[in-house]
Amino acid sequence: MRWRDATFGPSGLTGVQRAPSPGERSIRGTLLRYLSLATQGRLRRMVTGALALTPRGFVPRDVLVLGELSARLRLEWRTRDLHPWDRDLPAARRAERFRDQALTDTDAAIERLFRILPEMDAIEIRVLEPRAPHGLIFAGTVAREDLLATRAISSPAMRLRMMGIRCQTKHGHLQPLD
């Protein structure tokens, strides 16, 4: 499935599986077409511009023609620390909340990145702890097809594993990767 065949619905990025209603067709279709035109092709236009070399004398359409374009992105970020309201919880409960928050945040960030960067075929992800020494807690490479294939899975932890993101837990608590 290609990006333009996917939609963003209440459950996230999904494939087109049902026909929209007449009222939904006009508003939703118009919005999706606008978003597609606004976001898709930015990188393609920049690359095409870079390939538009100075033409040689008297040769019409003397340019390099872009045949295929794919891109890969490498990202590293620090996850958010616990909410200040959760800092007074027992240590085991804080660790569980941090794990759940980090999993949900990472899953949402990956989905959002692919949605706003349609030219990206794969994203290499490294997620660090919020506090020094900033140990690595998630790592892996996610392909667009893997993201689309895992949208039906309700667990963020299982979705990330199925997308190719590694993490290590001990008794349900996140541990730094070696």
Tell me: do 46 and 75 sit in the same domain.
Answer: no
Instruction: Find the length of the chain.
Output: 178
pLDDT digits (tens, 9 = 90+) for 130-157: 888 989 999 999 999 999 999 899 999 9
pLDDT digits (tens, 9 = 90+) for 10-34: 444 455 444 444 444 566 666 666 6
Tell me: do 88 and 165 sit in the same domain.
Answer: yes
pTM of the model: 0.67
For residue 150, which amino acid is it?
T
Write out the two tokens for 143.
Answer: 């392909």
CA angle 81, 83, 89 (to 5 degrees): 105
Tell me: do 21 and 79 sit in the same domain.
Answer: no
- Of 45, 7, 18, nearest to 148 by C-alpha is 7
- Of 90, 91, 176, nearest to 126 by C-alpha is 176
102 domain-assigned = yes
Domain limits for position 45 = 3-51
